Amino acid sequence: MEVAESEVEAAALEFLPGVEGILKPISLQEEAELPAKILAEFVMDSQKKDKLFCSHLQVVGFLQNFLAQEDTAQGLDPLASEDTSRQKAIAAKEQWKDLKSTYWEHVEAIKSALTQVLMKTEEAQRKQTQLKEVLEQLQAKKQMAMEKLRAAQKKWQLQQ
């Protein structure tokens, strides 16, 4: 037994200095030796968390004030306040459903209007290309007519 205990004691004595290095507190000098980037990330992360906690506390404070005002306005009758709260919730839910249905009606109206506008736009573009083609044909015919007119005038002048 003593041999096993001495082996365990020897192993513990070898292991102990490594553990002490891990467990001892970091001094300011060693802390200063940490890379600045890691410290900057830590500080930024801490600030973000602090801001988040602050905003959460503000929301909680607002909700507590709101509930306190509701309780004083309703006379602190728990059953009556629960019933009115349910009625308000039901009314709000109905209003939400109405708003949602109105929203989807408007979305559908906009979609149908957009499809009509797109069809009319495509039609207008098609007519524009047709008009350009007809105009080019008309200009070509006009130019041919002008050339025939000049040729006829020259011929007429030659005959006289």
pLDDT at position 66: 84
CA distance 63 to 52: 17
The residue behind tokens 């002008």 is 146
Residue type, 110: I
143: which 2 tokens? Answer: 């130019």
pLDDT tens for each residue of the chain, 160 residues long: 566 566 767 666 666 666 555 555 555 555 555 566 676 777 788 888 888 888 888 888 888 888 878 767 666 555 666 778 788 889 988 999 999 999 999 999 999 988 998 899 999 899 999 999 999 999 999 999 999 999 999 999 988 7
pLDDT at position 98: 92
| Percent composition of the chain: helix, strand, coil (DSSP 3-state, to 5) | 95, 0, 5
CA distance 160 to 150: 15
pLDDT at position 38: 73
Residue type, 80: A
CA distance 93 to 90: 5
The CA dihedral of 128, 132, 134, 135, to the nearest 10 degrees, is 130
The residue behind tokens 């909680």 is 60
